[in-house]
Structure 1
Amino acid sequence: MRAFGFLSFGHYGGSPAQGGLSARQMLHDAIDISVGADELGVNGAYFRVHHFAQQSASPMPLLSAVAARTQRIEVGTGVIDMRYENPLYFAEEAAALDLIADGRVALGVSRGSPEPADRGWESFGYTGSTDPRGADIAREKFDVFLRAIQGEGMARAAERPYMSPAAPGSDLRIEPHSPELIRRIWWGAGSRDSAESTGRQGLNLMSSTLLTEATGASFGDLQAEQIERYRTAFREAGHTHAPRVSVSRSVFPIVTAQDRMLFGMRPGEDADQIGIIDGHRSTFGRTYAGEPDQLIEQLKADAAVQAADTLMLTIPSQAGVDLNLHILQNFAEHVAPALGWKPNTEGPVLGDTA
């Protein structure tokens, strides 16, 4: 493990009298957690994206604010749902964010997970999908997005191009353009097949918080196989740059009596879970909670954590800035160094040497 960051689901809502957050407070807390994490040397601040829910949604304003307030930490998503995106507008936003952040970007993108709305992407104006899950339009739009951020012409210049030096009829690319942005795009893969496809495309792999497979193997072993298939497909496709791979886990070091009260596990809570999502029998990862020495041994035995270069810690963001920074500090001081991590002093990890 060369890098670790936090993954926030950005929940808000509920009664303020019972600790519920407003959307405004959630966003400000997200920025403050990111600033504090940057000061701790944490490598990444990543945010989930959901629509029609009291969670983080369109992420670019938040990511831009975090990038502007921090110096070294990578900012990103896990993941942006392409069913809801205009691929060309998204390409403009992504390039602008990459330039604002000086390359400190890790944009996780995918078909997306189940949402509260029934075919909610159609309410955003994106119709025509013949797949009940919208995977067809997500892939089509993602392909357009990739072409756009690589500088392909996406429109034809007018006969008299207004405020442009372009020749009439020439191809126009999306602006602004960030030449290296393609190296900072991750596909969120929930199966071994999608991981292989990601490898063939030469993108980074963001292994999902769940896998739409249940073979009886542990979540970590399933993910490790997924990662190996990804890397094999990457090499066989002839890509020569260094790919990156991330996995996410819920990890709560117990260092104080308060930690034990908040995060102590009951019997049966520390095992993988099997459930049905999107019609697939799926495997959900376990939660790790324990004293640092115990966590170190457990995470060393987690094949996927060992195979990945980046670990994203899912945090209870609605619990406030101080508690979340306490969790990150406990992990940074008592667990992460034994897994190969060193505090971030220069910027994001640029590639995996595995």
Structure 2
Amino acid sequence: MQRFGTLSFGHYGPLGGGRELTAGDMLHQAIDLAQGMDDLGVNGVAVRVHHFARQQAAPMPLLAAMAAKTKRIEVGTGVIDMRYENPLYLAEEAAAVDLISDGRLALGVSRGSPETVVRGYEKFGYSASDPRGADLAREHMDLFLRAIDGEGLAERDANSPFGGGHGMQRIEPHAPGLRSRVWWGAGSRDTAEWAGRTGLNLMSSTLVTEADGRPFDILQAEQIDRFRAAWAEAGHAGTPRVSVSRSVFPITTAEDELYFGHSQEGDGIGYIDGFRSTFGKTYAAAPDVLVEQLLQDAAVMSADTLMLTIPSQLGVEFNLRIIESFARHVAPALGWQSTLASA
């Protein structure tokens, strides 16, 4: 594990006791948290994207603001639901954020996860033959990749007063190398292999849509192995990146114990999107215990990046303290390299 970052679900709404976290609060706190993490040398900050829910739904303005307020940290998504996206508009937005950040975008995309509404992407103007929308997501993804690769997609108008000329025109702005900063969020072995063949980085979550009795970390490590094998077999140059997500909370205060001391201690089995799935456990313990536990996590040790899911509703100060504790007392023992070391 060379890098670590955070993944925020961006929940907002009532907090209890008459308190409420507004959408504006959530956005401003996300920017402040990214700044604090950048100062700590953390490698990345990502936001979860969900439509028709009190969560982050339109990430590009937020990522641009994060990028403008930071210097080193990667800004990204985990993940954008491609069923909802206009591929060419997303290509323009992603290129703009990548240029603003000087190549610090880590754009996680996928088919998306179950939602609070039925076939919500249809309300955005898209339809799919597959009830889960997998065909639509792949169709949008194919056009998006062609666009960010610089392929000419629209015929120039020779009669345009703006210098249209002849031939085919690519999407602008164009960000060189953006494709190397695109990640596919995979929940299964098959989608991980597809990502490897396509030449995308792999973003693996806190669940896999397999359940055969083996521990979650072993199933996820197998997913990673298959991804890397597919990448190599396809003949792609370079080394792909792999991230995994975990809920990890160093317990160093009584407040930490109050919040996380009774967290889940084992893997979970359940159904998601119709698939029997294995869910990863929550790690909550003293820092030295966390080090030993994470060193035994096969997927964490196989990936180059660990994304910590954070309780964003608890505020910037609380989350920065949790992140700093992990950075000081846990991450170095796992192989972490701070961005401050190369600053």
- Give the TM-score of the pair, scaled to structure 2: 0.98
2:234 and 2:34 map into 1 onto residues whose CA distance is: 36
Aligned CA distance change for structure 1 residues 100 and 134 (closer, same or farther; 3 Å): same
What's 1:136 paired with? 135
2:139 and 2:296 map into 1 onto residues whose CA distance is: 39
Deviations 1:256-309 (A, max 9, x none): 22222221126xx21111111111001111000000111000000000000000
Single out whichever of 149-158 and 10-19 deviates more from structure 2.
Answer: 10-19
Q: Tell me whether 1:81 sits opposite 2:78 in the alignment.
A: no
2:58 and 2:308 map into 1 onto residues whose CA distance is: 21
2:276 and 2:67 map into 1 onto residues whose CA distance is: 38
**Code of the aligned partner of 1:305:** V
Q: Give runs of aligned pairs for residues 6-45 of structure 1, distance below 5 A.
A: 6-14=6-14, 17-45=17-45
Q: How many residues align?
A: 343
What's 2:105 paired with? 105
Of the three residues 189, 198, 211, the one matched with 1:201 is 198
1:342 and 1:183 map into 2 onto residues whose CA distance is: 20
**Code of the aligned partner of 2:247:** S
Do the aligned partners of 1:72 and 1:347 also contact (CA within 8 Å) in 2?
A: no
Compute the displacement of 1:162 (Å).
Answer: 3.6
Deviations 1:220-239 (A, max 9, x none): 10010000000011111111
Q: Tell me whether 1:300 sits opposite 2:295 in the alignment.
A: yes
2:85 and 2:118 map into 1 onto residues whose CA distance is: 17
What's 1:59 paired with? 59
- CA-based RMSD: 1.3
Deviations 1:63-98 (A, max 9, x none): 000000001000000000000000000000000000
1:48 and 1:143 map into 2 onto residues whose CA distance is: 22
Q: Give runs of aligned pairs for residues 164-313 of structure 1, distance below 5 A.
A: 164=163, 166-168=164-166, 170-265=167-262, 269-313=264-308
Q: SS at the partner of 2:221?
A: helix
What's 2:145 paired with? 146
What's 1:315 paired with? 310
Deviations 1:89-124 (A, max 9, x none): 000000000000000010000000011111100000
Deviations 1:32-57 (A, max 9, x none): 11100110111001000000000000
What's 2:122 paired with? 122
**Code of the aligned partner of 2:179:** I
Q: Tell me whether 1:339 sits opposite 2:322 in the alignment.
A: no
Compute the displacement of 1:208 (Å).
Answer: 2.1
Q: Give runs of aligned pairs for residues 150-161 of structure 1, distance below 5 A.
A: 150-161=149-160
Q: SS at the partner of 1:20?
A: strand
Q: SS at the partner of 2:13?
A: coil
Q: SS at the partner of 2:107?
A: strand
1:303 and 1:89 map into 2 onto residues whose CA distance is: 38
- Give the TM-score of the pair, scaled to structure 1: 0.95
1:184 and 1:18 map into 2 onto residues whose CA distance is: 42
Q: SS at the partner of 2:185?
A: strand
- Structure 2: segments with no counterpart, 5+ residues: none
Q: SS at the partner of 2:245?
A: strand
- Structure 1: segments with no counterpart, 5+ residues: 349-354
Q: SS at the partner of 1:126?
A: coil
In percent, how many aligned pairs have the same letter?
64
Aligned CA distance change for structure 1 residues 347 and 132 (closer, same or farther; 3 Å): farther
What's 1:351 paired with? none
2:341 and 2:178 map into 1 onto residues whose CA distance is: 19
Do the aligned partners of 1:31 and 1:65 also contact (CA within 8 Å) in 2?
A: yes
1:162 and 1:242 map into 2 onto residues whose CA distance is: 45
Do the aligned partners of 1:248 and 1:314 also contact (CA within 8 Å) in 2?
A: yes
Q: SS at the partner of 2:45?
A: strand
Q: Tell me whether 1:326 sits opposite 2:321 in the alignment.
A: yes
